[in-house]
Every structure is written in C-alpha cells, then in structure tokens.
C-alpha cells in the first residue's frame, strides 16, 4: 500500500541551533546527527524507498530563536533530484520583505507546493495581520499552509501561539485556503483540532508526532472526518517511518480509511496521481 509522508525535515548542522542539536544528540546520538549531516538527496531517496514512502513533503523552517533556519532554497535544491520529495517553503514574519512577496517567491519562483509555519517558534499568532498577505498569495495559488499546533519539546518555544483555535480566524478570512494543523494540537488540544475539521471543510490534521495507537482515543470522530487526516512522520524525530505506517495499518478502521490516511487524502491535497 502506498504511503505519502507529509511531514519530513532535513537540515544540516549549519542550519540548526544548539537547542536542536543538543536535543537531537541526546535523543539519537552523535552518529545520527552525523548521518543527517552527510545525507545526500540520493541517499535519502533510497532511505525513503526502503521505508515504503512513495512521496514525501520536505519542510523548510524559519525558527532562528528555537530550532534553526532551513532555507527554502536548500529544501528546493535537496528535493530537485528526486520526484519523491515535494518542497514546502517558510516565511520570516520579521523580514523587511512583505510576507506576500516571500510567499510569491517560494511558491512561484522556487516551485514550493505549500508553506510550513511555526508560530510558537517565531513568536506570532497565526492571525497576525502581517501574515495575511502570505495567506492571500497561498490561497490564490491553491497552495497549502501547514501550521505547527500543540506543544513542543524544544526550550524557548512559546506554546500560546500554537493553539489550533487561533486558525479559526485564518480559515474564516481565507475560506478557500487549505490549512493543515500539524500534530493535531497535541497533546491537550485534540478536541479543538477535531472540532475545527467540522467547522472548516478546508482544514486537515497531520498525525505526525502522535503515536498512531492513540488516534481512536484522541480523535473519536476520525471515521466521520477520515478524509481530512494525513500521515506524517516528523522524520528525523521518529527514525522508522515504516513502523509508524504499519501501526496505522493495524488501527481498527476499515481499509478505505487507512488508505485515505496513508495515501489518498494527501494525494488529493498535493494533486498527486499514480
Ligand atoms: Zn515537524
């Protein structure tokens, strides 16, 4: 069964802050850090193939205060040599360049398919008016905007910016914009995230960072809104993508729902056909 992983990070040591590097070393050890530093697009393509991932969304990041800056240009360049990876850009809200122009550059000039934003690392509310130009551009271009929601392991995160209900304003003001709530507001805003699916038809939840076995408990209405849940690994935070996908396959849902989470919901969103 095919898999799309909508939530993958690749960054080099030079992109990452000490906060991230310390976390990563403690969690996975120096060899894993070195392996990521040495990662080439060809090696990663092979790795994803072995993990059973047919397509993956590769995320840029603009979080200089917390995790680091993985530039849009790096992500696009890394994804270029394989048709397995789909690059997403990021936005610097504090730049002198208007966020609309940044979005236009990422989506049009660089060819990103969407944007990934981390308000709790960048210290702004998702409904900050400075971001509205970027949302407008993304909506007009049919691009996807992913937001980190919920808590984070990293020091200096400010969680108040990561509440999923803050996306209500964005979804009301940009009704055609397709929005992904990464991590579904984990670990204490699952209910709010799920409620947002009912309220806004263009909202989605990416399940990255949530142990799949918890999905039925965390999202009791998943079967009703199954066409809005997306598989994501948050790699490299969980090394084995295959085992996470296998855990989804073992959930007590019918085959259509499992296939939708692992493949067809993201395929529809990203306009991928096989
Ligand atoms: Zn992530």
**Cα-to-centroid distance, 133 and ligand 1 (Å):** 24
Q: Residue 264 above 90 pLDDT?
A: yes
pLDDT at residue 246, rounded to an integer = 97
Q: How many domains in the chain?
A: 1
pLDDT at residue 175, rounded to an integer = 98
Helices 72-80 and 41-50: crossing angle in degrees, nearest 10, is: 70
Query: What confidence category does residue 274 fall into, taking pLDDT thresholds of 50, 70 and 90?
Result: low
pLDDT at residue 243, rounded to an integer = 96
Contact predicate 177/142, CB 8 Å? no
**Cα-to-centroid distance, 36 and ligand 1 (Å):** 15
pLDDT at residue 220, rounded to an integer = 98
Contact predicate 266/229, CB 8 Å? no
**pTM above 0.75?**
yes
**Cα-to-centroid distance, 64 and ligand 1 (Å):** 15
Residue 29's CATH number: 3.20.20.140
Q: Residue 238 above 80 pLDDT?
A: no
Q: What is the mean pLDDT of residues 69-89?
A: 97
pLDDT at residue 273, rounded to an integer = 81
Quote the domain boundaries for residue 86. 4-270
Q: Residue 230 above 70 pLDDT?
A: yes
Give yes or no for a cis peptide into 236 (omega within 30° of 0): yes
Ion ligand 1: residues, CB within 5 A, are 234
Tally Cβ neighbours within 10 Å of residue 192.
Answer: 19
**Cα-to-centroid distance, 8 and ligand 1 (Å):** 7
Q: Residue 237 above 90 pLDDT?
A: no
Q: What is the mean pLDDT of residues 147-166?
A: 96
CA 70 centroid distance within chain: 14
Q: What is the mean pLDDT of residues 235-263?
A: 94
pLDDT tens-digit series, residues 172-224:
999 999 999 999 999 999 999 999 999 999 999 999 999 999 999 999 999 99
How far is it, in rounded angstroms, from Cα 188 to Cα 186? 5
Q: What is the mean pLDDT of residues 13-33?
A: 94
């Amino acid at each position: 069964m095919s898999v799309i992983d909508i939530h993958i990070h690749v960054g080099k040591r030079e992109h990452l802050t000490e906060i991230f590097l310390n976390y990563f070393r403690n969690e996975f050890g120096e060899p894993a850090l070195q392996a990521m530093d040495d990662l080439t697009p060809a090696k990663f393509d092979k790795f994803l193939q072995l993990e059973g991932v047919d397509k993956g969304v590769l995320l840029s990041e603009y979080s200089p205060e917390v995790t680091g800056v993985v530039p849009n240009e790096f992500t696009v360049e890394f994804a270029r040599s394989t048709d397995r990876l789909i690059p997403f850009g990021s936005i610097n809200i504090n730049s002198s360049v208007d966020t609309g122009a940044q979005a236009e550059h990422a989506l049009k000039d660089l060819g990103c398919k969407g944007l990934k934003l981390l308000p709790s690392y960048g210290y702004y509310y998702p409904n900050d008016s400075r971001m509205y130009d970027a949302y407008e551009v993304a909506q007009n271009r049919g691009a996807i905007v992913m937001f980190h929601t919920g808590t984070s392991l990293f020091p200096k995160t400010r969680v108040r910016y990561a509440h999923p209900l803050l996306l209500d304003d964005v979804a009301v003001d940009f009704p055609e914009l397709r929005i992904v709530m990464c991590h579904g507001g984990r670990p204490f805003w699952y209910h709010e995230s799920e409620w947002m699916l009912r309220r806004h038809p263009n909202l989605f939840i990416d399940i990255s960072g949530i142990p799949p076995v918890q999905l039925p408990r965390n999202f009791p209405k998943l079967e009703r809104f199954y066409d809005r849940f997306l598989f994501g690994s948050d790699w490299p935070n969980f090394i084995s993508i295959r085992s996470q996908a296998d855990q989804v396959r073992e959930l007590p849902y019918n085959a259509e729902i499992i296939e939708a989470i692992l493949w067809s919901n993201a395929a529809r969103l990203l306009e991928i056909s096989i």
